[in-house]
Amino acid sequence: MSKAAHPLAGKVALVTGAAGGMGRAYAHHLATLGADIVIADLDLGAGKRWGEVEDSVEDEINRLGRRAVSVEGDLSDREAARRAVAAAIDTFGRLDVLVNNAGGAITPAERSTATASPEEDTSRLLAANLYTALYLCQEAAPVMTRPGGSIINIATLGVFGASRTGGYAIYTAAKAAVVDLTKSLAVELGPVGIRVNAVAPGVIRTPRVVATAEQRGIATGDQDAKVPLGRLGTTEDMVGVIEFFASDLSKYVTGELLAVDGGVHHVSVL
């Protein structure tokens, strides 16, 4: 494998929420760059729900010529986070890249403003979006390659400003906490050579987002025109940025947050 074509050859990447959606795309892309992959997800069959995956993401990675191992569990449970990290070390003997992608705005949108959000939704959103990332970072940091490790935390466009209705308030608060954690971790782990960055996707047309567009009012046709680059995003738009942060292309970058949203967070109401 040439170093230029396969900058992650011999490396190992753990991607959370990798059974479907963007996490699956990240796992594929990191595998094409040469990495072996740990797939961690609450539900390893998640990719079948919207018809994305025929067999399993593990099989897909194997077909790309890379090794893969899968771990099922709720990563907001510290023990499951520990198992995911242990799978990397026990199976492949190392961990170079961690993508904290698990999460989502998983509670009912119609009761998602700050004042309407019931306790149970608040707990679920903090667990899925903040605790998953926090526990994975805590478990992974001591065993990641140093120097050379890279952690990428997935945030959201919502960290730059509230939605027009004030909805998704707790979801975006949880992601904002992840962005803040990214900065603290970057400072703490910089001296041992582990970089920590965050990525904020705009609306990305994953199969789930497309299937639920009308019901959630997200990714409906009229939203393309509101984006400076003229369209909502695709998983293909995301993977290059993950490559940038996972590889030496960003070797002197840490603690940063990069929006991948076609410029939409720069648009004001005027």
Ligand X SMILES: NC(=O)c1ccc[n+]([C@@H]2O[C@H](COP(=O)([O-])OP(=O)(O)OC[C@H]3O[C@@H](n4cnc5c(N)ncnc54)[C@H](O)[C@@H]3O)[C@@H](O)[C@H]2O)c1
CB 65 within 8 A of CB 132: no
Q: Which of 150, 156, 172, 197 binds ligand X (CB under 6 A)?
A: 156
3-state secondary structure of 195: strand
List C-alpha distances in Å: 83 to 42, 77, 169: 12, 10, 31
Q: Which of 12, 19, 27, 98 binds ligand X (CB under 6 A)?
A: 19
Question: Which CB sits closer to ligand X, 74 or 253?
Answer: 74
H-run or E-run covering 137: helix 132-140
Q: Which of 8, 14, 23, 167 binds ligand X (CB under 6 A)?
A: 23
Residues 32-51 touching ligand X, rule: CB under 6 A, are 41-43, 46
Residues 90, 85: Cα–Cα separation, whole Å: 9
Residues 109-148 touching ligand X, rule: CB under 6 A, are 128, 132
H-run or E-run covering 246: helix 235-246
Which stretches does DSSP call E strand in the chain? 12-16, 36-41, 68-72, 97-100, 150-154, 195-201, 257-260
Binding track, positions 83-112, relative to ligand X; x by CB under 6 A: ------------------xxxx--------
- Piece of the chain touching ligand X by CB under 6 A; list 31-39, 59-67, 205-213, 249-257: 205-213
20 binds ligand X (CB under 6 A): yes
- Which residue is associated with the tokens 């025109």? 225
Residues 43, 119: Cα–Cα separation, whole Å: 24
- Piece of the chain touching ligand X by CB under 6 A; list 56-64, 89-97, 109-117, 201-209: 201-209
Q: In whole angstroms, how close is the CB of 106 to ligand X at the nearest point?
A: 7
Walk across the sheet containing 195-201 and list its strands: 68-72, 36-41, 12-16, 97-100, 150-154, 195-201, 257-260
Q: In whole angstroms, how close is the CB of 56 to ligand X at the nearest point?
A: 12
Q: In whole angstroms, how close is the CB of 258 to ligand X at the nearest point?
A: 13
171 noted as active-site residue = yes
Closest to 208 in 3D by CA, of 20, 15, 30 = 20
167 binds ligand X (CB under 6 A): no
Question: Which CB sits closer to ligand X, 92 or 160?
Answer: 160
Q: Which of 17, 34, 149, 262 binds ligand X (CB under 6 A)?
A: 17
Q: In whole angstroms, how close is the CB of 40 to ligand X at the nearest point?
A: 6
Q: In whole angstroms, how close is the CB of 92 to ligand X at the nearest point?
A: 20
3-state secondary structure of 136: helix
- Non-local CB neighbours of 42 within 8 Å, separated by 6+ positions: 17, 72, 73, 74, 75, 102
11 binds ligand X (CB under 6 A): no
- Which of the residues are catalytic? 171
Q: Which residues bind ligand X (CB under 6 A)?
A: 16-17, 19-23, 41-43, 46, 74-76, 101-104, 128, 132, 154, 156-157, 201, 203-204, 206, 208-209
